[in-house]
Homo-oligomer: A and B are copies of this chain.
Amino acid sequence: MHYPKDLEHLISYYAKLPGIGEKSAERLAIATMEFKDEEIKEFSEVLINAKKNLVRCSICGHITDNEICDICRDESRNKNIICVVEDYKNVFAFEKSGKFNGTYHVLNGLISPIDDIGPDDINLNSLVTRVSSLDKPELILALKPTIEGEATTLYIKKILENEKVTISRLAYGIPIGAEIDYLDNVTLEKALEDRKKISD
Contacts and interface: CB of A to CB of B under 8 A. Distances in A.
Nearest to A20: B28
Contacts of A47: 10, 32, 40, 43-44, 47
A170 interface: no
A180 interface: no
Given A32-B50, A44-B48, A63 B4 contact: yes
Given A32-B50, A44-B48, 10 more contacts: A4-B54, A4-B70, A5-B65, A6-B49, A6-B65, A13-B43, A13-B46, A26-B92, A30-B89, A40-B48
A10 B44 contact: no
A39 B14 CA distance: 12
Q: Chain A interface secondary structure, helix, strand, loop or mixed?
A: helix
A27 B6 CA distance: 25
Contact of A51 (B1, B33, B46, B49): B33
Given A45-B44, A63-B33, A70-B2, A9 B95 contact: no
A19 interface: yes
Contacts of A65: 4-6
Nearest to A29: B50
Contacts of A44: 44-45, 47-48
Given A17-B28, A17-B31, A44-B44, A54 B95 contact: no
Residue from A7, A51, A92 whose CB has the most chain B CB atoms within 10 Å: A51
